[in-house]
Chain A
Amino acid sequence: MAETMSGAAAGKKRLTAADVVPGASTARAGKLGGNPYLPEICTVREIIQETPNIRTFRLTFDDPEVQKSFSFLPGQVGQFGVFGVGESTFAITSRPSETEYIQFSVMKAGEVTSAIHQLSLGDKAGVRAPMGCGFPVEAWKGKRILYVMGGIGSAALKATIEYTIEHRVDYEGISILYGATAPENFTYQYDIDQWQKRDDIDLTLTIDRECDGWQCDVGLVPHVLERMNPTPENTIAITCGPPIMIKFALMSFKKLGFSDEQTYTTLEKRMKCGIGICGRCNVGPKYVCVDGPVFSLAELRELPDEL
């Protein structure tokens, strides 16, 4: 009679209800110490209209202890939602060094994002964060980082950009290529202004078509990228944006000689639990919510073709 006690149980400790603080979120009690389904209650403190359909929300945790102890890795995400409507996954777009608030940038598109866009100052929201894996910024020390982004893709890379800028001396170079359909569709204009003033960041902004008063580049991101002709030598390439832009950007990276190990992107999927349990956000054996959303191209090649 075959009996196989197989599984993750083999040799690994299994938690019991006694290990978990009842009624505490994971932000309060740690990833394995709390209830991962329980959001922290947050208050909307600031709303910035980035573009006609993108708003940035700055929230504070109502629990001051959580606000004080909260930290995240660049590239990590959170489940931000409205009680009564639902939650969605968003990249945390505040600086990792920011202690006063947590920030998400939200494009109005569906059920949850529309409800989020109806939030006013002082309203309550739920946050479950941080989740997912971030970008391996430690391993990238000493390298040049090339960020290539379009539209709302900037949100996925914002925290990482800020982190690498804050730790500028640790990186050989920072280049940012940011494309939008039109001048009013750039997010984080206020931060872009600061980046433009620095001489230790290589910043290229581009819009799709000529426009009166536009001083920077014109052209689709992949074309501009190839014009820039960045060297793959000691460089990490990261891209995020609309699917069609990612597709062509990845092709351009390949053309420019970037290897799969040097190229990174973020995936998105329909998500519900955000903690790798409900089963739906998988690409093959990997869950985008916990094994991602950051993936290198080398990792993606191992996965079944079902993006």
Chain B
Amino acid sequence: MSRQDEIRELARVALSTGRVDYFIGWREAYNPSEVVPAFVDEPDSVDQLVWNDLCAHNLTTFLKRKMNDRPNAKVGICVKGCDSRTLVALMQENLVDRERLYVVGVPCDGLVDRRKLEKEFSDEIIDITTSNGTVSVTTHQGLTRDFPKADYLLAACGWCRYKNAVYADDVAGPPAEEADRHAKPVWTDVEAFEALSDGERDAMLEEIFATCIRCFACINVCPVCYCWDQCVNRSRRPELVSQKVDAKGNLVFQMVHMLHVAGRCPSCGACDRACPVEIPLSLLHRKMNKEIYDMFEFEPGAKLDEMPVFQCFKIEDAFGD
């Protein structure tokens, strides 16, 4: 059975036995190259669920409060390794009711970066299929080109050490082989950023945040951002972040988001993928996570029985230098 079939079967059983009222997975949108979150409430409808190299969405954001408000519903959900860490972060803070959750872990060998592929074409992409390490892309006007998947992985997948979910009730198929979770994480992209001079870094940040349109997509798609109308970035009394949309204000806006998710953000990359103007938000979050790792050797959302690092302290904690 393929993982896709495993997911469908687990969902079908969970729905027909009443273990869940609805099941969250992924499905195709208006063409096979676009995959979106799926909400299935009938066992007969599980065939819409897919599992392929485009299933990037972190579905745990739909468990947070005020997103879909069905407070007493039992929910089934698919999580990849990265997604499971935001789920664990929500659990560590008692923000999801484990009793009403059915978690299907989906082992993952890495997903394709659709945006990187888009830049290879000026025409619209309407189909993406992968097999045996090759990604086949078809455009609206009928052009097809192949690419080696290894060169078009999502950046986050390139250094992933959590190919299997850290929390799951059932797993869709055999586990994926993963790098040693105890080995030091890879931070090459962050190191390149750190190597920039102050002036270069300021210029880079100014340039990228000039295009930010304050749409809040990054904030709303983030599974651990749940303040909604109480968000510091929206505060009126007092006004804490200027509501004027300019590069400086936008950088402050993003820093507020970053610092508020610090310790709970595993750099899943959902913010990055949601940003309509392609600001490299993941890079900044990974920089933040590198700092946290260097200070506390803590990886957010990795272990359910850990407290989030900024919700507790130990006497031995490093105090910075």
Contact = CB atoms under 8 A, between A and B. Distances in A.
Interface of A: 110-111
Nearest to A114: B237
B312 to A, nearest CB: 36
Interface of B: 236-237
Contacts of B236: 111
Contacts of B237: 110-111
A109 to B, nearest CB: 11
Contacts of A110: 237
Nearest to A110: B237
Nearest to B237: A111
Q: Which 3 A-B pairs have the closest CB atoms?
A: A111-B237, A111-B236, A110-B237
Contacts, number: 3
B234 to A, nearest CB: 13
B44 to A, nearest CB: 34
A110 B238 CA distance: 11
B238 to A, nearest CB: 9
Contacts of A111: 236-237
3 contacts: A110-B237, A111-B236, A111-B237
A111 B243 CA distance: 15
A242 to B, nearest CB: 22
B112 to A, nearest CB: 39
A111 B235 CA distance: 11
B40 to A, nearest CB: 30
Nearest to B238: A111
B84 to A, nearest CB: 39
A81 to B, nearest CB: 14
A110 B237 CA distance: 8
A43 to B, nearest CB: 26
A111 B234 CA distance: 14
B214 to A, nearest CB: 17
Nearest to A111: B237
Nearest to A86: B236
A110 B236 CA distance: 10
A263 B237 CA distance: 37
A36 to B, nearest CB: 21
A108 to B, nearest CB: 13
A111 B237 CA distance: 6
Nearest to B236: A111
A99 to B, nearest CB: 37
A131 B82 CA distance: 54
A169 to B, nearest CB: 48
A250 to B, nearest CB: 29
Nearest to B239: A111
A283 B6 CA distance: 47
A83 to B, nearest CB: 15
B62 to A, nearest CB: 25
A110 B235 CA distance: 13
A111 B236 CA distance: 8
B258 to A, nearest CB: 27
B229 to A, nearest CB: 12
B318 to A, nearest CB: 41
A119 to B, nearest CB: 18
B70 to A, nearest CB: 21
A85 to B, nearest CB: 10
B243 to A, nearest CB: 11
A111 B238 CA distance: 9
A112 to B, nearest CB: 10
B140 to A, nearest CB: 22
A111 to B, nearest CB: 5
